[in-house]
Amino acid sequence: MKILGDLDELETMVSATLAFGRDARANEPVSSVDLVELLRTILDETGDANPDVAERLTYHGPPHQTVRARPVALKRAFANLVSNAVSYGGDARVTMVPPADGTVEVSIEDDGPGIPADEIDRVFEPFHRLEQSRNRETGGVGLGLPIARNMLRAHGGDVVLSNRPQGGLKAVVFLPV
């Protein structure tokens, strides 16, 4: 029945909206986090949930890098970025550049279609989706990137997106160390 599908969609949107609001006021304590271990965990969990892409989930960079962060919030931010790479590009290549000037840089690249240039900034607006159907299976509710950016900014960092010249998208996260 269509009405049951609509109710499921509405319930998902309400749950996502409530989670978005909670994220903005989370009181999780800050602790020392090995960012590399966190990224590898996210890639392992993503591979477990998507065995068909597990071999296309990679990490390159230093073996360890500690940051001061709220671990659950930081994990959610990076998990959203990796999930988008897998959903829209079928892969996720995570690369960390060793810190420079007190900032660590982590990029997440995929081989998907990228994002139209005029939409790059708009995808960080809550509920903005590039895929306009109401089908959750093809595009979520439009909160993954806003949540990731809010959480990263709460840590003193940020995320920027760019289309790769050879195709696909690159999300670059900057975090203080």
pLDDT on residue 11:
53
- Tens of pLDDT, residue by residue over 101-148, are 999 999 999 999 999 988 888 777 776 566 543 334 545 556 778 999
CATH of 2-176, one of 3.40.50.2300, 3.90.226.10, 3.30.70.890, 3.30.565.10: 3.30.565.10
Cα R_g (the chain), whole angstroms: 16
Give SS3 for 73: helix
Please state, for a pLDDT cut of 90, what percent of the chain lies above it.
65
Q: Identify the DSSP state of 64.
A: -
Angle at 164 between CA 41 and CA 170, to 5 degrees: 30
As a whole number of angstroms, the distance between CA 36 and CA 33 comes to 9
pTM for this model (two decimals)? 0.81
Which residue type occupies 166? Q
- Tens of pLDDT, residue by residue over 19-28, are 555 554 457 8
For the CA atoms of 128, 44, 111, 153, what is the dihedral angle to 10 degrees? 40
Strand 92-100 versus strand 57-60 pairing type: parallel
The phi and psi torsions of 74 (rounded to 5 degrees) equal -65, -40
pLDDT on residue 135:
39
